[in-house]
Amino acid sequence: MKLNDISVRKAKPEAKPRKLSDGGGLYVLIHPNGGKYWQLAYRFAGKQKTLALGTYPDVSLADARDRRDQARKQITNGIDPGALKQTEKRQAKISAANTFEAVAREWVENRANDWTEGHKALTLNSLEQDTFPALGHRPIAEITPAELLAAMRAIEKRGALEIASRVLQRSSAVFRFAIATDRCKTNPATELRGALKKPKRSHYTTIDKGEFPKLLRDIDGYQGGRLTTCALQLMALTFTRTSELVEAEWKEIDLERAEWLIPAERMKMGRPHLVPLSRQAVAVFKEVAKLTSERQHAFPNRNDPSKPASKAIILRALGRMGYTGKMTGHGFRSAASTMLNEHKTKWGIHRDVIELQLAHVEKNASRAAYNFAEYLEERRTMMQQWADYLDKQKAGAEVIPLHGAAA
């Protein structure tokens, strides 16, 4: 006799477990404590087996019958439903252990011996900020291209198009690592080629890198005012924005610590910016100090010394040297960005360190905790490498920096 919902609901427990059969091997097992459990009795490969189908009333009689019918179809097709269920449980546990975040952290640790501590921290930091919130909890084998694209779109909405591209590259590396370690079968990042917006490039006038050595020599030989020569040299050495340099105040500059801290109100992004000074930059600032240390500004205005020099002094000087239409103040930043990125592998520099030194930190919530001294040691090393490289370019040969060059 088949069961009905009323008979199952009203069935009372007894001193010992008892079964109420519904047919086709399906029955509800009623425990002495009142618990009611749907089970299926079946034979597979000559062995009597039992398959749990859920508890009543969470699983209704109709649902239990559907599960019974599905299991019997599997048996007909040569599949043991009990073994299949155990396999699925094991796979679920594996998936839960192999989330995107777990695999990504393992990938970072796996690469640790190839990276500097700063590179490792920057890489992990970008994943923590831009992928873990959306994808970190997801089993890596289940993440679809659409999910990954949605996470990248969220970065794009902040206007951080370059960061979106970089995070996608890192995510792709995580998926490749997961494939190599048998945690997933496909890399959804490969399906997103061409899907992200490309950042609009601002084309500031700058000379070809092959002309840069001559420009550096022309600056050293500039026949204008000495302060202007020093300003041009510092533009090359620090690659700050023109206004940041010509409006610099002596209170911002600590030559003993070889640091220049530009306050937030003078920065485009509205955050303080720390510039580590190379030995060469310190030497130039010391020369400037001989001329203007009694003034508020390192480069005071010629007509009104209480004010900073005009931003136009850089462009005018470049024009007098024959670089009109070929080079601007911003061109020093463009040249530094290009050449530092070309040398980043050789010098052991992470691209994010270059971006931080260029003050290209996005103004968004994920960077709210931005520290102006972030990765200072990596940046300090990079700035000295850059200054030494400029010396080499000017000389046209390898230069061995003299000890005490900053004296």
43 in active site? no
Between CA 144 and CA 152 the distance in angstroms is 13
132: left (phi over 0), alpha (psi -120 to 50) or beta: alpha
Q: Which of 170, 241, 350, 379 is catalytic?
A: 241
Q: Any idea which residue has 């649902």 for tokens?
A: 63
Q: Give yes or no for a contact between 274 and 373, defined as CB atoms under 8 angstroms apart.
A: yes
330 in active site? yes
Q: Which of 351, 360, 363, 392 is catalytic?
A: 360
Q: Which of 85, 138, 370, 392 is catalytic?
A: 370
Q: Which of 2, 9, 268, 307 is catalytic?
A: 268
268 in active site? yes
9 in active site? no
Q: Which of 333, 350, 379, 394 is catalytic?
A: 333
Q: Which of 330, 367, 379, 380 is catalytic?
A: 330
Between CA 9 and CA 52 the distance in angstroms is 19
Half-sphere exposure of 118 (CA within 13 A, CB side): 18
320 in active site? no
The separation between the first and the last C-alpha atoms of the chain, rounded to the nearest angstrom, is 103
241 in active site? yes
* Closest by CA position to 274, among listed 158, 367, 353, 171: 353
Question: What contacts 24+ positions apart, CB below 8 Å, involve 180-187?
Answer: 181/103, 181/106, 183/98, 183/103, 183/140, 183/141, 184/98, 184/140, 184/141, 184/143, 185/141
At 241, list the tokens: 């924005």
Catalytic residues: 241, 268, 330, 333, 360, 370
